[in-house]
């Protein structure tokens, strides 16, 4: 059975990564057909920890995984490390004596228990007594309910996680009300401001992005711009002198680095560094998400023998530029020397080949498997290794971030 696995970041109150929830579904052909949910979930958990390697999926962070009632009763979670695994109890799990006894045993072994998709109507569930984290569904609750859940259940021991948080306002409210953790794509959406001025440093980065992506690259001009920013110089030379290349002698000049990289790789890596600098004080996860999209799109187009791999990489990298700059994408992208197809996809066209591929990535990120199934078929993509490509892009983006190449 082919498995789709995606991860969603969970932030603490300082916007650092606390952990990831693993979202999973069987492959495109089987997505709507499997009947044994316990078997499917067990298969995915096993593959996550053994086949994919849990550290490849979530690094040193916590992992949240949904458990069905039967899996709780069988105490399948005890097969996996307690310091890594947070057990999410699905909303469909009944509060029977047997379930409660299993949860108590798992807690005694050191596992963290989280109640999933919590709503105001669940205030009286007996499972609260044995819970460490309550995940409140912000799509299914009102702001008043979201605040009152914390007021009524806060006891100094339970922590609250706001899930499906889609706006900055929801995040700020949750933080004010006492939520400790936050899950959703609020961090990746632009907070547009009418009179947003771009500071001088970011303008330099934008100028570099335009020059490196020009049809005819001017090495002298690019070298001159890079020399204005010590951080780009350091990061570029660090990358060139890393084990990725294994050169026998040290590369210590920008021009030498650019020549060795060549046009395509120089476009990619200068874009990566400049966009990360533009991201600045925003969550690092935003840069990681752009990197992941870029690599995933590149891998997909490589698989279908397309000659647009570099454009697909740029599409992914630039897809969050509006969030990084808090500016409308139409205003930013018009000045770049990109093809019409690339510009259209970046500014919201979801009907073109480029636009559909970007949409596919977004469906993967959110675990929207039904829409992913539809668009995958529409694009005539083979689903067998879509998930492995997604995991590869996750691992690659982690390596780039963790090795300080950006």
**What is the per-residue pLDDT for 216?**
86
Q: Given this model, what pLDDT does residue 2 score?
A: 57
CATH of the domain at 118: 3.20.20.450
Q: Using CA of residue 340, residue 344, residue 350, residue 355, what is the dihedral sign?
A: positive
Residues 118 and 239 in one domain: no
Q: How far apart are the first and last CA of the chain?
A: 37
pLDDT for residue 107 is more than 90: yes
Report whether 344 contacts 355 (CB < 8 A). yes
Same domain, 162 and 238: no
Lowest model confidence (mean pLDDT) among 1-5, 22-26, 169-173, 288-292: 1-5
Count of domains in the chain?
A: 2
Query: Does residue 18 lie in a domain region?
Result: yes
Q: Is the pLDDT of residue 52 over 60?
A: yes
Which of the listed residues 154, 186, 218 is the one where a domain comes to its end? 186
Q: Are 119 and 145 contacting, i.e. CB atoms less than 8 angstroms apart? A: yes
Instruction: Indicate whether 220 pLDDT > 70.
Output: yes
Give dist(CA 45, CA 298) in Å, integer. 28
Three-state SS for 301? helix
Whole-model pTM?
Answer: 0.86
For residues 105 and 171, membership in a common domain is answered with yes
Residue 81 covered by a domain: yes
220 and 155 in a common domain = no
CB 278 within 8 A of CB 316: no
In this predicted structure, what is the pLDDT of residue 31? 43
Phi-psi bin for 269: left (phi > 0), alpha (psi -120 to 50), beta?
alpha
Distance CA 365, CA 362 (A): 5
Answer yes or no: is pLDDT of 193 > 70: no
221 shares a domain with 180: no
| Residues 334, 296 share a domain | yes
Helix, strand or coil, per DSSP, at residue 86? strand
Residues of the chain with pLDDT > 90: what percent? 54
pLDDT at 256 over 70: yes
Q: What SS3 state is found at 20?
A: strand
Is residue 305 predicted with pLDDT exceeding 80? Answer: no
Last residue of a domain, one of 155, 186, 217: 186
Lowest mean pLDDT among 50-54, 216-220, 310-314: 50-54
- C-beta atoms surrounding 364 within 10 Å: 26
Domain that holds residue 259: 198-401
Asked whether the predicted pLDDT for residue 47 surpasses 80, the reply is no
pLDDT of residue 116: 94
Confidence class for position 44, pLDDT limits 50, 70, 90 = low
| Mean pLDDT computed over every residue of the chain | 87
Among the candidates 186, 208, 229, a domain finishes at 186
User: For position 34, what pLDDT does the model report?
Assistant: 39
* Run of H or E including 65: strand 62-67
Distance CA 85, CA 46 (A): 13
CB of 117 closer than 8 Å to CB of 138: no
Domain membership of residue 406 (yes or no) is: no
- CB of 186 within 8 A of CB of 171? yes
Pair (152, 207) in one structural domain: no
**178 and 238 both lie in a single domain:** no
Residue 109 pLDDT? 95
What is the mean predicted confidence (pLDDT) over 217-239? 89
Flag whether pLDDT at 61 surpasses 50: yes
**Same-domain status, 178 and 202:** no
Range from 32-36, 121-125, 149-153 carrying the lowest mean pLDDT? 32-36
For residues 210 and 329, membership in a common domain is answered with yes
**pLDDT the model gives residue 32:** 40
pLDDT of residue 135: 98
198: which DSSP letter? P
Higher confidence at residue 302 or residue 97? 97
* CB contact set of 4 (below 8 Å; sequence gap of 6+): 24, 25, 26, 27, 31, 364, 369, 372, 383, 386, 387, 390
Q: For the residues 58-85, what does the mean pLDDT come to?
A: 89
Q: Read off the pLDDT of each residue in 328-349 and give the average, rounded to a whole number.
A: 92
pLDDT at residue 56 greater than cutoff 60 = yes
86 vs 132: CA distance, rounded Å: 10
Question: Are 7 and 22 within 8 A, CB to CB?
Answer: yes
Q: Which two tokens stand for residue 58?
A: 């979530």
More confident residue, 288 or 57: 288
- Quick check: 29 pLDDT over 60? no
Task: Evaluate if residue 33 carries a pLDDT over 60.
Answer: no
pLDDT band at 406 (very low <50, low <70, confident <90, very high): low
Question: How far are the Cα atoms of 78, 89, 106, 204 from residue 92, in angstroms, in the given order?
Answer: 21, 8, 19, 53
CB of 3 closer than 8 Å to CB of 57? no
Same domain flag for 338 and 370: yes
The pLDDT confidence band at residue 353, using thresholds 50, 70 and 90, is very high
- Domain shared by 15 and 74, yes or no: yes
Residue 92, SS3?
coil
**Mean pLDDT along residues 397-405:** 82
Of 228-237, 355-364, 376-385, least confident by mean pLDDT is 376-385
């Amino acid at each position: 059975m082919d498995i789709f696995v995606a991860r969603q970041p969970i932030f603490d109150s300082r916007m650092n990564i606390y952990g990831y929830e693993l979202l999973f579904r069987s492959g495109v052909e089987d997505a709507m057909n499997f009947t044994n949910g316990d078997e499917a979930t067990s298969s995915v958990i096993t593959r996550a920890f053994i086949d994919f390697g849990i550290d490849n999926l979530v690094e040193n962070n916590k992992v949240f995984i949904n458990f069905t009632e039967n899996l709780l009763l069988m105490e399948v979670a005890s097969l996996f490390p307690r310091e890594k695994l947070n057990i999410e109890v699905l909303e469909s799990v009944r509060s029977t004596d047997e379930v409660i006894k299993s949860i108590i045993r798992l807690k005694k072994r050191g596992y963290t228990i989280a109640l999933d998709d919590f709503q105001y109507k669940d205030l009286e569930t007996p499972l609260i007594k044995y819970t460490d984290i309550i995940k409140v569904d912000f799509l299914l609750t009102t702001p008043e309910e979201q605040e009152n859940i914390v007021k009524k259940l806060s006891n100094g021991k339970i922590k609250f996680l706001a899930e499906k948080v889609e706006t900055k306002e929801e995040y700020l409210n949750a933080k004010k009300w006492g939520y400790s953790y936050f899950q959703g794509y609020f961090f990746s959406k632009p907070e547009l401001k009418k009179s947003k001025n771009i500071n001088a440093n970011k303008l330099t980065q934008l100028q570099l992005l335009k020059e490196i992506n020009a049809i005819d690259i001017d090495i002298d001009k690019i070298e001159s711009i890079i020399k204005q920013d010590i951080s780009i110089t350091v990061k570029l030379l660090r990358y060139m002198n890393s084990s990725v290349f294994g050169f026998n002698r040290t590369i210590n000049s920008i021009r030498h680095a650019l020549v060795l990289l060549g046009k395509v790789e120089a476009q990619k890596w200068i874009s990566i560094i400049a966009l990360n600098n533009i991201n600045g004080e925003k969550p690092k996860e935003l840069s990681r998400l752009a990197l992941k999209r870029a690599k995933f799109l590149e891998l997909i187009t490589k698989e279908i023998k397309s000659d647009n791999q570099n454009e697909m990489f740029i599409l992914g990298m630039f897809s969050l530029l509006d969030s990084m700059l808090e500016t409308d994408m139409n205003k930013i992208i018009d000045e770049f020397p990109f093809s019409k197809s690339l510009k259209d996809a970046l500014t919201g066209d979801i009907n073109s080949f480029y636009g559909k591929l970007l949409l596919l990535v977004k469906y993967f990120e959110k675990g929207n498997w039904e829409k992913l199934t539809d668009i995958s078929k529409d694009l005539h993509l083979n689903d067998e290794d879509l998930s492995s490509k997604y995991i590869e892009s996750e691992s690659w983006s982690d390596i780039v971030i963790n090795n300080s190449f950006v």
